Amino acid sequence: MVDFIPRQPHAPSFSGRLLIVEDHGPRLLNAYLIFPKQTNINFVDDLRLQQQYGRVSSVGWQLKEEKLAGNLKLFINLLSLYVEQSRYYREYTEQPPDAEIISLKQHFNDWQERALSNPIIASDISRNLLTTSDGLRRFMEQFKQLGWQRVVLELVDMASIDYIRTKWDTNKVYGGSRWDIGPVSEMVNINPTEGLRIKLGGRTTGYFSHHHFFNGYLAYGFKDRKPKYGIGYAYSFKPKRYFREEFPQHEVSLRYQHDLYIPGLELQNNDRDNILYDVGVSYLTTASYRNLIAVEYLKDFNAILSLRLYANYREDIASGPLQFVRVNHDHTLQKLPKITDVSSGIELRWAIGERIFDGSMQRHQPYARIYREVPVIKLRHEWADRRLGGDFNRQRTELIAEQRLWMGIFGRLDYQVTLGKLWSSVPFPVLYTPPTNTGLMHTRNTFQLLNPLEFVADEWLTTFLEYHMRGVVFDRIPLVNKLGLRGVLTANILYGNLSVKNRQSTGKELFVLPVHTTEMRDQVYAEVGFGLENIFKVLRIDLYRRLSPLKPHSKGPWGVKLDLSLSF
Of 363, 463, 368, nearest in space to 420 by CA: 463
Poorest-pLDDT segment among 13-17, 94-98, 204-208, 368-372: 368-372
Mean pLDDT value across residues 383-393: 90
Mean per-residue pLDDT for 451-465? 93
For residue 144, the model assigns a pLDDT of: 53
pLDDT of amino acid 520: 95
The pLDDT value given to residue 362? 72
User: What was the pLDDT predicted at 77?
Assistant: 60
- Between the alpha carbon of residue 534 and those of residues 6, 157, 159, 160, the distances in Å are 23, 20, 18, 18
Q: Are 230 and 256 in contact (CB under 8 A)?
A: yes
Whether residue 312 has pLDDT greater than 50: yes
Candidate from 108-122, 150-164, 423-437 with smallest mean pLDDT: 108-122
Mean pLDDT for the stretch of residues 398-414: 89
pLDDT band, residue 99 (cuts 50/70/90)? very low
Encode pLDDT of 497-548 as tens digits.
Answer: 999 999 988 877 788 888 888 999 999 999 999 999 988 888 999 999 999 9
Distances 68 to 86, 132, 512 between C-alpha atoms, Å: 6, 15, 66
Please report, for residues 110, 124, 383, 394, 513, the alpha-carbon distance to residue 341 in angstroms, rounded to integers and kept in the order given.
42, 64, 10, 9, 18
Range in 5-9, 16-20, 268-272, 536-540 the model is least confident about: 268-272
- pLDDT: which is higher, 428 or 547: 547
**Taking residues 372-390, what's their average pLDDT?**
90
Q: Which residues are registered as beta bridge partners of 84?
A: 69
Residue 453, Ramachandran bin (φ over 0: left; ψ between -120 and 50: alpha; else beta): left
CA nearest 231: which of 198, 258, 261, 270?
Answer: 258
Q: Do 214 and 281 contact (CB within 8 A), yes or no?
A: no
Instruction: Give start and end residues of each alpha helix (H) in 33-122.
Output: 98-101
Q: How many CA atoms lie within 13 A of 150 on its CB side?
A: 10
Instruction: Answer whether 522's CB lies under 8 Å from 500's CB.
Output: no
More confident residue, 125 or 237: 237
User: Is the pLDDT higher at 74 or at 253?
Assistant: 253
Q: Given a cut of 70, is residue 137 above it in pLDDT?
A: no
Q: Specify the pLDDT at position 473.
A: 86
- Of 161-165, 225-229, 284-288, 309-313, the poorest mean pLDDT is in 284-288
Res 258: pLDDT: 96
Tell me phi and psi for residue 328, to 5 degrees.
Answer: -75, 170
pLDDT, position 60? 73
List, in order, residues 6 or more apart from 91 with CB less than 8 Å away. none
Q: Is 268 helix (H, G, I), strand (E, B) or coil?
A: coil
Which pLDDT score is estimated for 349?
95
* pLDDT tens track for 335-345: 888 999 999 99
| Positive or negative torsion for Cα 407, 412, 416, 417 | negative
Which of 410, 406, 405 lies closest to 476, judged by CA? 410
Q: Which of 166-170, 413-417, 537-541 has the highest average model confidence (pLDDT)?
A: 413-417
Per-residue confidence (pLDDT) for residue 280, from 0 to 100: 38
| pTM (two decimals) | 0.77
Q: Which of 225-239, 252-266, 384-398, 476-490 has the highest mean pLDDT?
A: 225-239
Q: Provide the percentage of residues in the chain whose pLDDT is more than 90.
A: 35
Q: Supply the pLDDT for residue 297.
A: 98
Averaged pLDDT, 437-466: 91
In the prediction, which pLDDT does 555 show?
A: 82
- pLDDT surpassing 90 at residue 95: no
Q: What is the mean pLDDT of the chain?
A: 80
Mean pLDDT is lowest, of 88-102, 148-162, 172-186, for: 88-102
Q: Of 160-174, 197-211, 285-299, which gets the smallest average pLDDT? A: 160-174
Mean pLDDT of 182-193: 84
C-beta neighbour count of 549 within 10 angstroms:
9
Q: Looking at residue 500, what DSSP letter applies?
A: G
Split at pLDDT 50, 70, 90, the class of 197 is very high
pLDDT one-digit tens code per residue, 266-307: 444 344 454 444 433 434 446 789 999 999 999 999 888 999
